[in-house]
Amino acid sequence: MVAVNARQIFRHSAARLEQLAIALRRRPKAFDGNYYAPDVILVNEVSAMDLALVRNHLNDLFSLNSYVIAGERPDEVKTKFLINGKTTSLISYRSWADVCVSDVRYQLINVKERASGALVTFGGVHFRADYRGSGGGECRNQNVDKARERLGRQGARGILFGDFNRRAMNKQRECDPEETSRVEPWYEDMTSASAVDGRSYLDAVREYNRANNLSMFDEWTHEEEDPSTLCDGRSGLRRNRIDYIFVDATLKPLEAHADHPGWASRTQPGVIRCSPSPQCKYSDHRFIWGRIGLT
């Protein structure tokens, strides 16, 4: 599974859409030496037209001709899905409104893995970076609770992923790359056991890295375009981990990372423009991907 913020609704770029598909196709092999074509891909901030272009590129690059759009497609639905029809079948889908911004909607899909018959609910979100003026600082926490409640209604084990637009810890990454400082309230709400259904969720990237004694240093997903003063006093491009895969605690993250080596190697830090087009980043976010054991 993969989640990416394509940032395309207000700035269409055919070159970046193509680079996104190429990045998905060229990502490194898994730790076991195998390469896995994604079963479920969440694409944030993309129009239905641009999502169809990504699908077409993927079908050309993977030579599978099996990726299909799953679920709702209107622009107000910020989270859209592609699924691999050879490995996964769509059962149903639902959308719901942001707690504080009613014209923004998120989406979930209920799917079945063809090989095992396992049922899973995938929920995609893209919360605002700043809710001031639209309900205040509690909006992210309230949206986390609402998303968990929507997933819980489906009955199947759930996975919630996407752009949460907030780091997990109260310290900036440059001063806390291994994420040992106090967690933010929204993250606590997301991972703790629910008093309603008893469910809890694991941060797949952190869970996998900690279980395998790996560093979190390179797991950041967003890089600012302009330099700023960092928390350690240096001037540089701030990097934060703000994209996540949260999985039902009964599921096992077999592997989970931010895209590595990431954007086009010749692209300078902070640059996302596509001129010339082969030397551009597919987004201002690195995608996150994970292999999750269902059985």
Which amino acid is located at 214 in the chain? L
Which amino acid is located at 183 in the chain? V
Q: Are 260 and 216 in contact (CB under 8 A)?
A: no
**pTM attached to this predicted model:** 0.94
Residue, of 18 and 168, whose pLDDT is higher: 168
pLDDT at 62: 87
CA 239 centroid distance within chain: 16
Measure Cα distances from 104 to 75, 95, 141, 184, 265 in Å: 9, 10, 16, 24, 34
Could you give the number of structural domains in the chain? 1
Query: Is residue 167 within a helix (H) or strand (E), and if so which, with residue range?
Result: none
Beta-bridge partner residues of 68: 83
Residue 277 has pLDDT above 70, yes or no: no
What is the average pLDDT across 279-294?
Answer: 87
Out of 90-99, 109-118, 217-226, 238-247, pick the least confident.
217-226
pLDDT tens per residue, range 132-183: 765 567 899 999 999 999 999 999 999 999 999 999 999 999 999 999 999 9
Which residue range forms the structural domain that includes residue 219?
Answer: 2-293
Please state, in angstroms and rounded to a whole number, the distance separating the CA atoms of residues 209 and 200. 19
DSSP 115: T
CATH number reported for the structural domain that contains residue 237 in this entry: 3.60.10.10
Tokens of 68: 């299909």
Residue 192 has pLDDT above 80, yes or no: yes
